[in-house]
Structure 1
Amino acid sequence: MKYILGVLTLLFAVMYSNLGHTLPLEKLTLPDGFKIEVYAEGVTNARQMAWGKNGIIYVGSRGEGKVHAVVDTDKDGKADKVVVVAENLTMPTGIAYKDGDLYVAAVSEVLKFENIDDVYANSPKPEVVISGLPTETHHGWKYIDFGPDGWLYVPVGAPCNICQTVGDGKFDDPRFASILKFDLATGEMKWVAKGVRNTVGFDWQPDSKELWFSDNGRDWMGDDIPPCEINRVTADDQHFGYPYIHGGDIIDPEFGSGKDPDDYTKPELKLGAHVAPLGVHFYQGEHFPAAYKKSLFVAEHGSWNRSEKSGYRVMRANFDGTEIGSYETFIEGFLNPDDTVWGRPVAFLTLPDGSMLISDDFANVIYKVTYQK
């Protein structure tokens, strides 16, 4: 019996180790000079990533309920070990690292794992640092990060496709459909943005320090409306339209009656309908060509209910320092000509050497993008 178990374990290990190599990376197209390869495999349902001490990369998941540590032990530029840091959490997609501690968003609470780099392999016990957030799991998974002001930014998605979240008997909580921020030292909470259906990615423009975020448009208005959005926060108390206005000018048929689109903040960029933008990332590394510096990368996770699939690609928005210029494809090929899919990009992380990681929660891998002149 022990022999059989040993053989099965060996076979599983071989399958596990070869998983990433079976992905059809040759189908992916990138601009000249860029290369994509698998950095880590077997990272089930890989979502947001954070860079820790000694090059350890922490990765959240959604349906898997686990937090992983991805380690490059031999420092060859590719991970060779994946460790489960925590499990049985509720959609721990959001990951943030600060001062040696790991923060994990699990729908209704945010957990802190102290000195994570020293204890990640020992099933560490977390401390709850934010509690009492809504428990709804519909759009309840989160992307979190510390802003330039030191506060922890935490979105709370709408608990539905389309619904009234203020003054409604079922979902009467003003925190729904918003982005919040918390001072963890005092417990103080402030609103950053309202009228945000579901953001699963944001970043700060490196010069202005303004927050830019993706927002997923509502479903069941047709294949081509409303557009998904890239938005920018430029002032306090901005409302981005949900559930009344979509894409800056489309009045919602259920909740938009009597609403004026000009009363709401319009998107900086309208994307395709249902492309599901998740991670957004201002590139600040030195490895890519100079033209890519401060470009905004967008992970279009891909549609789920469109008659012909859309998204399933990585996009790049040129940025002149004040506004978006062209919006062009950076990586495509995850979507096959027959409308089947083998990968779905989620989030970004620029490494200290300027190369860029991209998580994929469908292929269960993390890719690494490099450039060679």
Structure 2
Amino acid sequence: VPTALAASPFNVARTAQVPAGWALAVYARVPGARFLALTPEGNLLVSQPGAGKISLVRPSTGGGVPTVSDFATGLNQPHDMVFHTIGSTTYLYVAESDKIGRYTYQPGNLTGQSRQVLITGLPSASTPELNGAYAHALKNIALDSSHKLYVSIASTCNVCLSDTQSDPKRAAIYRYDADGTNRQLFAQGLRNAEGLAFIPGTDVLWVTVNGRDNMPYPTQDNTGQYGQVSTSYVDNHPPDSFTKVVDGGNYGWPLANPNPDGPTGLDNMPFDLDYDTNRTGAVPLSTFTTISKGIQAHSAALGFSFLQGTAFPAAYASGAAVALHGSWNRSVVTGYKVIYYPWNAATQTPGAQADLVTGFTNGGIWGRPVDVAVDPQGALLISDDYSGTIYKLTAPASLLATRTGAGASLAHLYPNPAGSSTATLDLAAVPAGSYLATVLDVLGRPVLPPAHVSGGGTATLALGSLGVGTYLVRLQGERFSQVLQLVRE
């Protein structure tokens, strides 16, 4: 923590857990920091809904703390921001609680220029029918390669039917042309879709969603709990969601909730009828679209970034990083961390969840992650609205990045994902010599004894003792080193 940034909560020592050899630093202090966007030249924009503004964070030319200045002010709870180029014009799209606007952007702009308001009248606390009550008024957006604009309108409540009957529907995503015209309902049943992003190189939309609270036990069984609200059940139900969203999809809320207790666990979960709104099954479960991946209930999954195509370390670069803001009403707190999902390129789905940054509750809650973004140097920037901080997570080039040069990316693993007890390390293209192959967890800790292998051939890695999850295989020698990602299914 730089001395100039050491105000509370960093006036006392704070400890976080990151992958072995990595470093987490306080990069900047931005009160109420929420969503992040990297400018085309690599500076950072940070939304501050409570202050009604967007700040610009620029590295110091002298190596000191960054310069933080106002980029846009006088806004109505600005939240999500997306850069998007149409023809020769680059725009910065900004989601406010009641509108969507855009600025034209030229490299070097220090303030927002030529603002256009594209969409007005989005539901907010000022909407007459809501009487000033809107629990999730902040808006999130994304744009696809066809210049379609997607707007998430979150629910006003924990659980209610009125959001499904309003115009526009709430707990829904609408699609517009890039100029804000031609509104169409894209998907619904998404209680509070905070993060929106497309898999890089595709127009496949994924979102994070916060599930409802205080859910009554939904099943008439021999437990005798039907319709009861109990801490033991509510603590783990329903899960938050990290899911693919399709045109016309209905993801359940407020009529059904994903159930993580079946044989598939948090993957492709079945639904339970919501006791409060649909206990008789008037709207059948067959109505709803399967949710791809669940996250521990009440984690409050917010912003996320796909890492493909970024400068993030190669061993992690096929995956997604997700910020978990943390629970407020669970008997044992959960969330308060940044997690990582490896990405299966064949199925275009996430693998097993792994922790990337934890510790924000060490010694009491001192941080709540909101969003993540990768800077041009490959560091992961993390916003925290609780302490008003931007953190920078940096990997050591010597430990978890492939050395550049003629030997780069020559080793391969198969099958990967590995469903059997072994995987083959193909070293045919690796320079001759002796190497150590070490299997690590995603925090960089060895989980199997290192194996001695030789360049020019193949080696078998015994995986029998490894559980399902994501691992790294580090190959080290005098002339060449490489880190590969291994997924165990």
Q: TM-score range by the shorter chain?
A: 0.7 to 0.9
TM-aligned CA deviation for residue 193 of structure 1: 1.6
Give, as a single letter, the amino acid of the residue that structure 1 aligns with 2:66.
D
Stretch moving more, 55-64 or 362-371:
55-64
- What residue number does 2:33 align with? 46
Q: Distance in 1 between matches of 2:240 and 2:152?
A: 17
TM-aligned CA deviation for residue 159 of structure 1: 1.1
- What residue number does 1:237 align with? 248
- What residue number does 2:49 align with? 62
Q: How does 1:1-373 map to 2 (within 5 A)?
A: 17-19=5-7, 22=10, 27-41=15-29, 43-74=30-61, 76=63, 80-98=66-84, 99-115=89-105, 120-121=110-111, 126-136=115-125, 137-165=134-162, 168=165, 172-185=166-179, 187-206=181-200, 208-221=202-215, 222-233=234-245, 235-247=246-258, 248-257=270-279, 258=281, 259-285=283-309, 287-321=311-345, 322=347, 323-336=349-362, 340-372=364-396, 373=399
Give, as a single letter, the amino acid of the residue that structure 2 aligns with 1:188.
N
Q: Distance in 2 between matches of 1:214 and 1:285?
A: 21
Give, as a single letter, the amino acid of the residue that structure 1 aligns with 2:277.
F
Structure 1 residues 280 and 25: CA distance shift in structure 2, 3 A: farther
Structure 1 residues 254 and 313: CA distance shift in structure 2, 3 A: same
Q: Distance in 2 between matches of 1:146 and 1:75?
A: 36
Whose Rg is larger? 2
Higher-helix-fraction structure: 1
TM-score (norm 2): 0.66
Structure 1 residues 106 and 288: CA distance shift in structure 2, 3 A: closer
Stretch moving more, 128-137 or 238-247:
128-137
Does the CA-based 8 Å contact 2:310-2:374 persist in structure 1?
A: no
TM-aligned CA deviation for residue 189 of structure 1: 2.0
TM-aligned CA deviation for residue 365 of structure 1: 1.2
Higher RCO (C-alpha 8 Å, min separation 6): 1
TM-aligned CA deviation for residue 286 of structure 1: 5.6
Does the CA-based 8 Å contact 2:9-2:366 persist in structure 1?
A: no
Q: Deviations over 1:114-133 (max 9, x none)?
A: 33655534x86733111121
TM-aligned CA deviation for residue 274 of structure 1: 0.7
Query: Does the residue aligned with 1:63 lie in a helix, a strand or coil?
Result: helix
Query: Does the residue aligned with 2:305 lie in a helix, a strand or coil?
Result: strand
Q: Distance in 1 between matches of 2:387 and 2:302?
A: 16
Higher-strand-fraction structure: 2
Q: Distance in 2 between matches of 1:287 and 1:23?
A: 32
TM-score (norm 1): 0.86
Does the CA-based 8 Å contact 2:207-2:244 persist in structure 1?
A: yes
TM-aligned CA deviation for residue 73 of structure 1: 4.0
Q: Distance in 1 between matches of 2:330 and 2:142?
A: 31
TM-aligned CA deviation for residue 174 of structure 1: 4.1
Query: Does the residue aligned with 2:173 lie in a helix, a strand or coil?
Result: strand
TM-aligned CA deviation for residue 24 of structure 1: 6.5
Q: Distance in 2 between matches of 1:117 and 1:288?
A: 23
Q: Distance in 2 between matches of 1:179 and 1:103?
A: 16
Q: Distance in 1 between matches of 2:19 and 2:108?
A: 39
Structure 2 spans left out of the alignment, 5+ residues: 126-133, 216-233, 259-269, 400-489
Query: Does the residue aligned with 1:54 lie in a helix, a strand or coil?
Result: coil
Stretch moving more, 267-276 or 130-139:
130-139
Q: Deviations over 1:136-194 (max 9, x none)?
A: 442110222322332222100011111113675xxx22431111222124712233321
Give, as a single letter, the amino acid of the residue that structure 1 aligns with 2:356.
F
Does the CA-based 8 Å contact 1:285-1:352 persist in structure 2?
A: no
Q: Distance in 1 between matches of 2:135 and 2:144?
A: 25
Give, as a single letter, the amino acid of the residue that structure 2 aligns with 1:241.
G
Give, as a single letter, the amino acid of the residue that structure 2 aligns with 1:93.
H
Does the CA-based 8 Å contact 2:326-2:334 persist in structure 1?
A: yes
Q: Deviations over 1:318-373 (max 9, x none)?
A: 22122222111111000126xx2100111111122222211111111111111112
Does the CA-based 8 Å contact 1:100-1:116 persist in structure 2?
A: yes
Give, as a single letter, the amino acid of the residue that structure 2 aligns with 1:238.
G
Stretch moving more, 190-199 or 256-265:
256-265
Does the CA-based 8 Å contact 2:14-2:362 persist in structure 1?
A: no
Structure 1 residues 79 and 111: CA distance shift in structure 2, 3 A: farther
Structure 1 residues 116 and 360: CA distance shift in structure 2, 3 A: farther
Give, as a single letter, the amino acid of the residue that structure 1 aligns with 2:124.
T
Structure 1 residues 112 and 307: CA distance shift in structure 2, 3 A: same
CA RMSD between the two structures: 2.6
Structure 1 residues 94 and 195: CA distance shift in structure 2, 3 A: same
Q: Distance in 1 between matches of 2:106 and 2:120?
A: 21
TM-aligned CA deviation for residue 68 of structure 1: 0.8
Does the CA-based 8 Å contact 1:206-1:294 persist in structure 2?
A: no
Query: Does the residue aligned with 1:22 lie in a helix, a strand or coil?
Result: coil
Query: Does the residue aligned with 2:49 lie in a helix, a strand or coil?
Result: coil
